[in-house]
Amino acid sequence: MDAWIIALLLVAGLAGGFVNALAGGATFFTFPALMAAGLPPVTANASNAVAVWPGNLSGAFAFRRQLPPLRATLWLAMGLAVLGSTGGALLLLATEERVFVRLVPYLILGATLLFAFSRPLLRLLRRIRPPREHIGLTPGSFALQAVAAVYGGYFGGGLGIMLLAVLSLCGFEDIRVMNAVKNLLSALVGLVTLAIFAGLGAVSWPQTAVMLAGAVVGGWLGGRAGQRAPAWLIRGFVIAVGLALSLVYFLKA
C-alpha cells in the first residue's frame, strides 16, 4: 500500500471510531475510505464490517449490566439476528459488483436519513405503540427485526437506529436497556458477518488491519471526549458527511 492510502485508512478509522463512540455513523467514514483505497465495492463492504465490529463488541461489553434476563423474547431476537445477518451477508456476496455500486448511494442516503430522524422516529413509535404489560415480539416487530438483521448483514449503516426502533415496538422503555440489547444484537450481527466474510475470503486484510488500528484509537479518544463534545455538533457532522457522500455516489452511479 502507498503511504497516502495507509494515512487515509488510519484517518478514516480514527474518525469512524471517534464518532461511533459519541453518536454512531462509523460506516459513513470507513466504507468510502476502503473504496477510495481501491477495493471493489463488495470487498470494501465486507472489509468494513470486520473493521467496525470491535466497536460493537466493546459497546455490548460496556452495557452488559443493563441487559435484561435472557428470556424467550431476547433469545428469539438473538436468533433472528444470527439468521437474518447470515442471509444478508450471503446475499451481499451473491450481488454483482455493478448492481451493488448502483445500490450504494441509496444505502448511504437511507442510513443518513435514518440517523438524522432517529429521535423523532423513536418518539413517534413510543406514542403510537399500544401499551402492553409484557415485552414481546408482535408479528409486525418480528418481521422488522428480521429485515433489520438482513440489512445488517448486507450493509449495516444505521443498523443501530433500526434495532432501537424495533425494540421500541417490542415494548422496551428504558433507553439504557434498549442500548444494551441493541449493542448485543449488533455485536452478534457483526460476528456472523465477520465469520462469513473472513471464512469465504471476502476481506482484504491489509487495508482492514490498518483501519482497525485507527478505529480502536478513535474509539478510545471518542470515549474520552464524550463528556465534553456537544452531541448536536457530532450528530450534525455525521449527517453532513452522509449527505455529501450520498451526493458523490449518486453522481458516480
pLDDT in tens, 227-247: 566 767 777 887 888 899 889
Task: Determine the pLDDT at residue 219.
Answer: 79
- Half-sphere exposure of 133 toward its Cβ, with a 13 Å CA cutoff? 0
* pLDDT of 46: 94
pTM of the model: 0.83
Please tell me the predicted confidence (pLDDT) of residue 189: 92
Number of domains, the chain: 1
Q: Picking from 108-122, 126-140, 146-160, 219-233, which range would have the lowest pLDDT averaged per residue? A: 126-140
Rg (CA), the chain: 17
Contacts of residue 89, defined as CB under 8 A and 6 or more positions apart, other chains included, come to 49, 153, 154, 192, 193, 196, 197
| DSSP class of 67 | P
The answer to whether residues 105 and 246 touch, using CB atoms and an 8 Å cutoff, is yes
Nearest 5°: CA angle at 126, between 122 and 132? 140
Q: Which three cell numbers stand for residue 30?
A: 470507513
Write the pLDDT tens digit of every residue in 8-62.
999 999 988 888 776 677 888 999 999 999 999 999 999 999 998 877 777 777 7
Residue 132 pLDDT > 60 = no
pLDDT of residue 84: 95
Record the cell numbers describing residue 227, joined without a space. 463528556
Look at residue 133 in the predicted model and tell me its pLDDT: 47
Per-residue pLDDT at 139 exceeds 70: no
Residue listed under C-alpha cell 422516529: 121
Higher pLDDT, 135 or 69: 69
> Looking at residue 138, what is its pLDDT?
61
Read out DSSP for 107-173? Answer: HHHHHHHHHHTHHHHHHHHHHHSPP-SS----HHHHHHHHHHHHHHHHT-TTHHHHHHHHHHHTT--
The count of C-alpha atoms lying within 13 angstroms of the C-alpha of 21, restricted to the half-sphere facing its C-beta, is 22
Q: What is the pLDDT of residue 136?
A: 57
| The three grid cell numbers given for residue 28, joined into one nine-digit string | 459513513
Residue 65: the pLDDT is 81
- Dist CA 211 CA 221 (whole Å): 15
Residue 116 is part of which domain span? Answer: 3-252
Q: Which pLDDT score is estimated for 228? A: 65
End-to-end Cα distance, the chain: 26
Q: Do residues 145 and 137 touch, judged by C-beta distance below 8 A?
A: yes
In the chain, how many H helices and how many E strands?
Answer: 11, 0
* Average pLDDT along the chain: 84
Give residue-wise pLDDT tens across range 152-193. Answer: 999 988 788 788 878 777 777 777 777 788 888 988 998 999
What's phi and psi for 238, nearest 5 deg? -65, -45
Q: Cβ distance 42 to 92 under 8 Å?
A: yes
Give the E-state strand segments of the chain in sequence order: none
**Separation CA 50–CA 153 (nearest Å):** 11
Query: In percent, how much of the chain has pLDDT > 90?
Result: 36
Q: What is the reported pLDDT for 211? A: 93
Give the largest CA-CA distance in the chain.
58
**Do residues 179 and 148 make contact, with C-beta atoms less than 8 angstroms apart?**
no
Average pLDDT score over residue span 212-241: 77
